[in-house]
Structure formats: C-alpha cells, structure tokens
Amino acid sequence: MSSFFNCIKFSDKKGDGGKSDFPPSPFFLRGQIAIIRTMLELLFLPVLFFSVIVHEVAHGYAALRLGDDTALHLGRLTLNPGPHIDPVGTILLPLFLFITNAGFLIGWAKPVPVNPYNFVNPRQDFAKVGAAGPLSNVALAILSAMMLTILNLSGLMRSFSLVAGLLQYSVFINILLAIFNLIPIPPLDGSRILSAMLPAETAYKYDRMMRFGPFLTLIIIWMFWPFIFTIVRTIEGAILTVALSI
C-alpha cells in the first residue's frame, strides 16, 4: 500500500504564491493518514469476502465435477454473498479485527456442504475437493499480481494507487488463505489431503480429530501466527517483485 500513501501530498501554499515556513502539524498528518488507512481497510472487506467466497465455491464446483451435486441443490454455487455468510467468520471476526486495529483482516465463509459418498473414490475425490479451495486462492493471487503488472506497464500505478493497494491486499490475503487452509488440521483443507494419503485405519483415527479442530486451529494461530505471517509476506514479496519488475 506504500504507493497509495506516496501519492498523498500536503501543501501549505498561500493564494499569493507565498510558501509557509511551517510544515503541516504532525498531529494533522497523523490524523489524515489514520482516516485514509481506515477508509482503505473498509475497502479491503469486499476483497476479503470475495476471496473466501471464491474459495468455497471452488469446493462446490470441484465436488460437482466429481459427482456430488449437494452444493448445487442448496444454491451454494454462486458468487452472491448471501448464501455464504457465516455470522462469525464473515461478520464478527473481520469487524473485531477492524475495530481493534489488528493490522490485518481475515475471515471465512460458510463451508460448502459436500457428501463424499456421492464420489466414485470418496477419499481421493474428497482430497481433490479440499485442494480446490487453496488452488482458487493461488489463482486469485496470481490474477491480482498480473493486474498490478498491467497497471505498472501502462504507467497508471500512481493514478490508480488505490486500486493498486487493493490488488496488493488481494495478493496477500489469497496467499494467506491458501497457506492457512493447507495446514493439516481438521476441518482445514490440508487435513482432507493428508487423510487421503494415510492408511484407512489411521485416516479414520485422524479424522476423529475433527471435534477438536476449532480448538487446535486457535492454538496454531496463537503459537505460530508470526511464522505463518512471515511465510506469507515472503511469498507475497516475491510475487510482487516479479509482477512489478516485468
């Protein structure tokens, strides 16, 4: 988002062409930047919502291709936010992070229902459905980076710095969603992929961890968030470096 703030200039010139000897007040600058950051974070919310909705719709479409039409019949194969809203993940958590000035926004949509018994190869196909979500976020991150490249090559980066900031956030949040969901803890997508690789008896015991999933996920966030954040920022930096150096 630095390109967005780099475009903000404060002038204290007088109408007669004279120039004030006093720079803008630090408190004024701080207040203006705080307001701009707040407005920008509000604009981040639609990007976050779109990203988590695409993630869930990808699960549904993958399931449909593999023989399960549960999500289709329940009206979940749509980008309309309504059917995907989760009270906690889509509303309360992002709002809490915004109000507490956490420095980032993240959330989730209501999980798309999948019936693995409709698959020809339930374990393997369920793993493919699980992988579809993170892959959709990787695709969105790459698409956002490509759009940044187009802005940069066309010389419109400064004129559309707000759009550039949103695209940069899209790269970040989609990488975060992809990596976090690949953690092999039920009910995250990584657990479905790992379960398909385990022997049937071991997979059964592993899947029973589902009831402890939310608790384990909170522990992972609490203990390893700085590590996860560093990985995400590193990948984001590499993608943006490539995107803006073309």
Residues carrying an active site annotation: 56
Q: What's the pTM value of the predicted model, to 2 decimals?
A: 0.81
Give the pair of three-digit tokens for residue 228. Answer: 């996860």
Rounded Cα gap, residues 236 and 3, in angstroms: 16
Does position 83 have pLDDT exceeding 80, yes or no? yes
Q: Please, are residues 235 and 141 in contact by the beta-carbon 8 Å criterion? A: no
DSSP-assigned states of every residue in 111-158 = PPP--GGGSSSHHHHHHHHHHHHHHHHHHHHHHHHHHHHHHHHTT-TT
pLDDT digits (tens, 9 = 90+) for 26-59: 444 445 555 666 666 778 889 989 999 999 999 9
Most confidently modeled range among 35-39, 114-118, 136-140, 225-229 = 136-140
Lowest mean pLDDT, pick from 9-18, 59-68, 78-87, 128-137: 9-18
CB 173 within 8 A of CB 107: no
Q: In the predicted model, what is the mean pLDDT of the chain?
A: 84
3 state SS of 13: strand
What CA–CA distance (Å, rounded) separates 199 from 214? 24
